[in-house]
């Protein structure tokens, strides 16, 4: 089965809406390259599918609410169903991933596989993502399972569907067996923070061009400013205003590469009070001026058009309760 090119599309709650695989075979494979020379960061998002990532080369930082994990070449990582996450590299890295719906393993929610193993695994607040690192020449069994599944998926030989499901099923069982003691843990604080963060992120990304204040962000989740600060620190690890600035800059970077609008126009569209302020913050984040960034990406696009390479994509990394009480 061919590997896919994947661009992340999300709805207003940052849920990824692009399907992975098909109804008949709800599993997709990706071979992705990203770097500081093009796009180095995958924004916060989440999806219902589980995701397993193998870092082929380079380094990658994965962030989930409350913590971050650094992946090195040879590491693998599983992101649980519905977990909010982002990824960023400080250099260049290549990752391979399989994204699959629980139904791919279970068949249906009435099966013993779902009821006894998968449902407790994907519902556990104690498991957001799990990392596996090799020690010397010893490769962890979950990583071995992924590599076998990914190879079968990539080759697409007759019967590969059975092989992919076999190894991903084994991987899920290993995760359940090794974390059975904590799999039933629930944390009310985590659920509440997740609901609030979803609401506040939605508001920021809907109104980022407006002159937002901390009060406005906190009010959207019906909490005070101090609790807003604490909630962002606990989950995303950054203050809300820093998240707002980062989001504005990412929008600015997109407009620089996708439109011919002037830097002054882009700065206004992205909520900055002046072009000089936009340029200063942009250079601090991207290590180049907006004009340099635009010219560099134009040159890279021209060269890519001449060479016509196989497109590489960024595979994002994903849980948030869908029933949120913000009172």
Reported as a single tens digit per residue, the pLDDT across 282-304 is 999 888 999 999 988 876 655 54
In angstroms, what is the C-alpha Rg of the chain?
A: 21
Element (H, E) at 33: strand 27-35
d(CA 87, CA 30): 15
Cβ atoms 221, 200 nearer than 8 A: yes
Cβ atoms 38, 79 nearer than 8 A: no
For residue 146, what are the contacts with CB-CB under 8 A and spacing of at least 6?
52, 54, 76, 98, 167, 168, 171
Q: What is the pLDDT of residue 152?
A: 96
d(CA 14, CA 291): 29
Cβ atoms 1, 153 nearer than 8 A: yes
Q: 256, exposed or middle or buried, with CB in 10 Å at 0-12, 13-18, 19+?
A: buried
Element (H, E) at 317: none
Question: Could you give the 3-state DSSP secondary structure of residue 296?
Answer: helix
The DSSP letter of residue 236 is T
Helix-strand-coil split of the chain, %, nearest 5: 45, 20, 35
What average pLDDT does the chain have? Answer: 83
Long-range contacts of 207-216, Cβ-Cβ distance < 8 Å, separation of 24 or more: 208/244, 208/247, 208/248, 208/251, 208/270, 208/271, 209/268, 209/269, 209/270, 209/271, 210/271, 211/271, 211/273, 212/244, 212/271, 214/240, 214/241
Beta strands in 50-178 (DSSP E): 50-57, 59-64, 67-72, 76-79, 85-88, 92-100, 129-132
- The highest-confidence range among 6-20, 274-288, 302-316, by mean pLDDT, is 274-288
Q: What is the pLDDT of residue 303?
A: 52
Q: What is the pLDDT of residue 318?
A: 31
Q: Which residue has the higher pLDDT, 269 or 286?
A: 269
Question: β-pairing, 92-100 with 50-57?
Answer: antiparallel
d(CA 102, CA 235): 25
Q: What is the pLDDT of residue 5?
A: 47
Q: What is the pLDDT of residue 224?
A: 92
74: left (phi over 0), alpha (psi -120 to 50) or beta: left
Q: Which domains does the chain have, with CATH numbers?
A: 27-178 (2.60.120.810), 188-287 (1.10.10.60)
pLDDT digits (tens, 9 = 90+) for 55-105: 999 999 999 888 899 999 999 999 998 888 889 888 899 999 999 999 999
């Amino acid at each position: 089965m061919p590997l896919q090119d994947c661009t992340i599309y999300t709805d207003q709650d940052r849920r990824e809406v692009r399907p992975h695989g098909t109804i008949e075979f709800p599993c997709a494979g990706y071979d992705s390259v990203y770097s500081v020379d093009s796009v180095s960061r995958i924004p916060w998002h989440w999806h219902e599918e589980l995701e397993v990532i193998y870092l082929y080369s380079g380094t990658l930082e994965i962030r989930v609410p409350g913590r971050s994990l650094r992946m090195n070449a040879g590491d693998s990582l599983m992101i649980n169903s519905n977990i909010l996450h982002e990824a960023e590299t400080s250099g260049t890295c290549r990752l391979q991933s399989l994204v699959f719906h629980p139904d791919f393993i279970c068949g249906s929610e009435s099966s013993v596989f779902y009821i006894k193993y998968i449902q407790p695994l994907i519902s556990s607040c104690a498991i957001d993502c799990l990392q596996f690192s090799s020690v010397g020449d010893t490769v962890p069994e979950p990583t071995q399972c992924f590599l076998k599944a990914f190879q079968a998926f990539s080759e697409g030989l007759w019967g590969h569907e059975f092989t992919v499901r076999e190894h991903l099923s084994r991987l899920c069982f290993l995760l359940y067996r090794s974390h059975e003691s904590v799999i039933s843990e629930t944390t009310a604080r985590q659920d509440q923070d997740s609901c609030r963060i979803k609401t506040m992120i939605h508001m920021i990304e809907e109104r980022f061009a407006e002159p937002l204040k901390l009060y406005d962000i906190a009010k959207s989740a019906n909490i005070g400013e101090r609790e807003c600060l604490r909630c962002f620190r606990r989950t995303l690890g950054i203050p809300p205003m820093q998240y707002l600035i980062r989001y504005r800059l990412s929008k600015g970077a997109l407009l620089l590469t996708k439109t011919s609008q002037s830097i002054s126009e882009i700065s206004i569209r992205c909520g900055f009070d002046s072009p000089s302020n936009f340029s200063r913050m942009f250079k601090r984040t991207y290590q180049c001026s907006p004009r340099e960034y635009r010219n560099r990406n134009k040159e890279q696009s021209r060269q890519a058009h001449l060479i016509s390479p196989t497109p590489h994509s960024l595979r994002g990394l994903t849980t948030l309760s869908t029933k949120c009480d913000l009172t």
